[in-house]
Amino acid sequence: MKFSSAIFTIVATFIASVSSHTSMSFPPTRGHPLNENAAIKDFGCIMAPLNGGSGCAPKKFPCGGYPQDKKIVTTFKAGEVFSVKFFNQNFPVLREEDKQKDQARHNGGLCEFSLSYDGGKTYTVIATYKKTCPDIFFDGWKVKIPENAPSCDSPGNCLFSWSWINAVGNREFYQNCADIKIEGNATEPLPIIDITRANLPPLFKKIVTPEGDDLNSGNAVGSGPRKEDVQANLALKIGNNNNDSSPNNDKSSQPPQNNDNKSPPPPQKNNDNKQPPQSDNENSNDNNNNQNIPCSENGSMVCGKEGVSAEFLTCDNGKLVSRSCPGILVCTQNGKSIFCGYPKRR
């Protein structure tokens, strides 16, 4: 009863506060009133964008300028899969009859989940959700810690970051950070795959308007995590296949070798590896055509142009869906899956 009373007190304070956007509640977020280990608890503006607004002052990048937690209690193991959870103070209890109410999700947009080993100076994006994220009524926002993630037990430096660029409304940049520990066996650092830095002038001058949720154009419940995003995020391999993510790795710089024992990829269009690079318009047309190509093994993945482009295709409910490796990484075939690595040196 004491716990319930405390939660209702926090929620009541939230409701009386200024900003009513969405925030990340798991992993526990710096500055969040629901995080019992937060060094400070920002009832008024934890959910506001870093731009400020609606009575909230602009916040610092990274992580809104909130200090590290007093105690770090969240530990992830390399290869572990978990679900991120979101929270809005106007919905202390998620009820079916409330799904059409305003949760200030701005028609979703672009969510990126990333790791930082240096306190938010650099990032490695490990999961991306397009169009439909965030949404408090879904808990299937799955993220996988890379299997080749090295250990991190440096308070204040080991971070899990959620960054969001909203689809509808003012051009804004949101970020919450969680202090974490990572247990891994890799000795090489993960490659830097930067988050999308936009809509936060003068620091991030680039203006981005991502696509929004097809189900609705406002703030009510959306369509939830897209299957193709979940599958791609869980299958994504960061860096090289041998756990060495250094861009100077000799193996990554060599041309792909023929391997007669390699499992054949799922059915796809004619081999593009032998074709010259196409223009952006031609690639765009190819991506659209890929949506209609049938496939038989759900979850199988194949590179569009192995070792050349970032594009890869995922078999989703009998049809190939086009996806891309993050950042500057390119696709390399790995049996019936793929991994994203640095392009070979010219």
- Peptide bond between residue 276 and the one before it cis (omega within 30 degrees of 0): no
Q: Which fold has domain 19-239?
A: Coagulation Factor XIII; Chain A, domain 1 (2.70.50)
Between 130-139, 164-173, 206-215, 273-282, the lowest mean confidence (pLDDT) is in 273-282
Which contiguous run of DSSP H or E holds residue 83? strand 81-87
More confident residue, 180 or 323: 180
- pTM, rounded to two decimals: 0.68
Domain boundaries, given as residue ranges, for the chain: 19-239, 300-341
Question: Is pLDDT at 289 greater than 90 in this prediction?
Answer: no
Q: C-alpha distances in angstroms, 240 versus 93, 175, 193, 234, 277? A: 43, 28, 14, 16, 23
More confident residue, 9 or 342: 342
- 293-327 confidence digits (pLDDT tens): 677 776 667 888 888 888 878 766 667 777 777 66
The CA-based dihedral angle spanning residues 206, 142, 119, 188, taken in that order and rounded to the nearest 10 degrees: -110
Confidence class for position 266, pLDDT limits 50, 70, 90:
very low
